[in-house]
Chain A
Amino acid sequence: MAQPLLKITNLHAEIAEDGTEILRGVDLELNEGQIHAIMGPNGSGKSTLSKVIAGHPAYEVTDGDILYRGESILGLQPDERARAGVFLAFQYPVEIPGVSVANFMRTALNAKRGEEVDIFDFQDELEARMGMLEMDPAFAARSVNDGFSGGEKKRNEILQLAMLEPLLAVMDETDSGLDIDALRIVTGGINRIKSERPEMAVLLITHYQRMLNYITPDVVHVMVEGRIARSGGAELALELEERGYDWLREEAGAV
């Protein structure tokens, strides 16, 4: 087997502003095409891990490394990581007033591909992808995430995932704030994209097991206090659903 797509070793990271350590030695390997879920209690560092992978400037890596396709990406800017194929679906997608979804998407796609995308091809593709996610075509003219409902914001994230065709999709609590219909559409979109591009690896960060009813992970990790405390198959998620996180916390504390 070739090298893993993503290899995280002994990753330590802190909040740049005040030096609070959040990640305390994360180890993780994700192969091309795999789906891994990271679960864990609030405050365990799941979201921080996703932001550190994407290169958020609020965090500073103090030790360890993130290898993507065999090379460290710690020295890369967030946009360089994105162009290399790393995608982060935000837990709280950011509003960009005055910039339409279409303009935003086209600018992103031009940057990704390194060339001007044909405007008609682009519109066709955007419309088709929006259709898949059951989005109103008028959506394209609205300002990015500005006044969107929670469900619309998450669908917009999946739309970007579909358009930008990353190799690694990090989904940060994409299920949070979704009702059951929106969850079905969003997870359906992810599965559809995954079936079109089986080589894409997915790192699903979620607090609850319910998303895993729709997307079946190859591996489930549980993060506690800034480390991966336990890894297992899909059945681990069910166990967590039954037993909660406390027993793992106690185990981690005992170490």
Chain B
Amino acid sequence: MADGTATVGPVAAVGALTRDQVEILTARKGEPEWLRAGRLKAWDAFAAAPMPTTRDEDWRYTDIGRMLKLEGFALADEAASVADADGLPAGLRAVVDESGETSARVAQVDASVVLREVPAELAAQGLIVSSLETALREHPALVERWLGTAVTDEDGKFAALNSAYWTGGLFVYVPRGVKVEVPVRSYRWITAAGTAVFGRTLVVAEAGAEVAIVDEVASDDFDRPTLSTSAAELFADEGAKVTYVSVQRWGLGVAHLSTDRLVAGRDAKITTLYTTLGGDLSRADVKCRLRAPGSHVDMLGVYVAQGQQHFDHETLQDHVAPHASSNLLFKGALDDRSRSVFRGLIRVHPKAQRTDAYQTNRNLILAAGARADSLPNLEIQADDVRCSHAATVGQLDEEEIFYLLSRCIPKAEAVRLVVFGFFAEVLDQLPHEGVRRELLRAVERKLARRAQA
């Protein structure tokens, strides 16, 4: 399979993942030579890397070779641009309509960004929000300067696959000192079962800039395996404040593999929140690099798994510089026969004295068939640091449930309330009240599926 040769059915014959397809893609888009070479190099890295197995530490609890067959997917089609949000597919429009306050927005359907709206007053301040393809044409130097510098071919087979195949994409550039108060929104939507989409996000916040980005993916449920790989690179320069909220609401049938790399410069502050709700298989590999003194990163996560869903979060708080701090809190609720894996590492390099780094993962098991594995870890090579980690896997507290029952509240609602409260500790840390409420609703809706089941 590693060489990507088409072996399965007519779909694969059209859209199989091959080196030729990469050539065709880059030629069709008329891309510059540096990008063409980068894509092909990434393809080679993808093809050379064996499919991970459970013998690989990173994949110990996610038997990816069994869960995902890369042979069967067709490349997602290009989609035509639309004039406004009304022209989006109905399901995506519903997602867009649920969003609260929005400054600029970009929507990708399958392989193409089809909608881009940027308020004139923000554009006038130099804010760039566009597809990555458009940015390549309009701001080639910026894209070349940053793309592929944080997510590299060393970041694993699926990151390399994404680097070879990404289309559409999101580019956000906030110039020095510009503060975007209202969140920027990105949406990605898949229309056809059996296809593969490759999303890509590049965010650059210059010194003193401030921006919040809500990066949301969603689809209907599919009756066939469908693939999403994504990669995000985010750079916060000196004193910049960046909030990055990932909302994964793929339908069933989707396997989602993301590789995100976030880099915090001097005195920069990055807040990330990963909300994982959808898909059959979801694997997020998120690494934050505290590159310079004074930087601070909050890594937050919320996941709700039901049915046979399998969610895997792998995190790294990478303390390269001294006097930096990071705080991670991931919480998940697991129902039915779902599974979750959390592997988190705090790594403190020898020069990173005076590091403050904390990591907590808590899991709530809602059904006897569900399972959570939590593996927090520390790797500390400096001596003057404060680091800790904690992990718990627990059941619902029967006394809490009885208390709520005794106050007239039916069982299903009591469970929802307790789970809701469990997540509040995470969501309350998000600085954007409106986005927080949207996420609460998304979590509530997911939990409501439980009550009906």
Q: Which residues of A contact B (CB under 8 A)?
A: 54-58, 77-79, 81-83, 87-88, 90, 93-99, 103-104, 107-109, 111-112, 143, 160, 164
**B409, A96: Cβ atoms closer than 8 Å:** no
B398 within 8 A of A: yes
**B402, A108: Cβ atoms closer than 8 Å:** no
**A79, B408: Cβ atoms closer than 8 Å:** yes
**A57, B403: Cβ atoms closer than 8 Å:** no
B181 within 8 A of A: no
Shortest CB distance B305–A (Å): 19
Interface string of B200-233 (1 = CB under 8 A from A): 0000000000000000000000000000000000
Residues of B within 8 A of A104 (CB): 404, 407, 417
**A96, B406: Cβ atoms closer than 8 Å:** no
Residues of B within 8 A of A94 (CB): 397, 399-400, 402-403
Given A99-B417, A107-B417, A160-B407, A78:B425 Cβ within 8 A: no
Residues of A within 8 A of B399 (CB): 94
**A99, B405: Cβ atoms closer than 8 Å:** no
Residues of B within 8 A of A109 (CB): 408
B68 within 8 A of A: no
| A79-B411, A111-B410 given; 20 more Cβ-contact pairs under 8 Å | A55-B406, A56-B402, A57-B402, A79-B406, A79-B409, A81-B406, A90-B406, A93-B403, A94-B400, A96-B404, A98-B420, A98-B425, A99-B421, A104-B417, A107-B413, A108-B404, A143-B424, A160-B407, A164-B407, A164-B408
Instruction: Select from chain A the residue with minimum beta-carbon distance to B421.
Output: A98
Number of B residues near A (Cβ < 8 Å) is: 25
Residues of A within 8 A of B403 (CB): 90, 93-94, 96
The answer for the CA separation of A126 and B403 in the assembled complex, in Å, is: 20
**A88, B406: Cβ atoms closer than 8 Å:** yes
23 contacts between A and B (CB under 8 A): A57-B398, A77-B411, A78-B405, A79-B410, A82-B405, A88-B406, A90-B406, A94-B397, A94-B399, A96-B404, A96-B417, A96-B421, A98-B421, A98-B425, A99-B421, A107-B417, A108-B404, A108-B408, A108-B409, A109-B408, A111-B409, A111-B410, A143-B424
Residues of B within 8 A of A54 (CB): 406
Given A94-B400, A96-B400, A78:B421 Cβ within 8 A: no
Residues of A within 8 A of B424 (CB): 97-99, 143
Residues of A within 8 A of B118 (CB): none
Instruction: Select from chain A the residue with minimum beta-carbon distance to B417.
Output: A99
Instruction: Select from chain B the residue with minimum beta-carbon distance to A92.
Output: B399
Instruction: Select from chain B the residue with minimum beta-carbon distance to A107.
Output: B409
B378 within 8 A of A: no
**B406, A98: Cβ atoms closer than 8 Å:** no
Given A56-B402, A94-B400, A99:B418 Cβ within 8 A: yes
The answer for the CA separation of A87 and B403 in the assembled complex, in Å, is: 11
Residues of B within 8 A of A82 (CB): 405-408
The answer for the CA separation of A111 and B410 in the assembled complex, in Å, is: 7
Residues of B within 8 A of A108 (CB): 404, 407-409
Closest 7 CB pairs of A and B: A98-B421, A98-B424, A99-B421, A78-B405, A94-B403, A108-B407, A111-B408
Residues of B within 8 A of A96 (CB): 400, 403-404, 417-418, 421
Instruction: Select from chain B the residue with minimum beta-carbon distance to A108.
Output: B407
Shortest CB distance B410–A (Å): 5
CB neighbors of A among B243-267 (8 A)? none
B423 within 8 A of A: yes
The answer for the CA separation of A172 and B24 in the assembled complex, in Å, is: 76
**B405, A98: Cβ atoms closer than 8 Å:** no
B59 within 8 A of A: no
B146 within 8 A of A: no
Residues of B within 8 A of A79 (CB): 405-406, 408-411, 414
Residues of B within 8 A of A78 (CB): 402, 405-406
The answer for the CA separation of A94 and B399 in the assembled complex, in Å, is: 7
Residues of A within 8 A of B398 (CB): 57-58
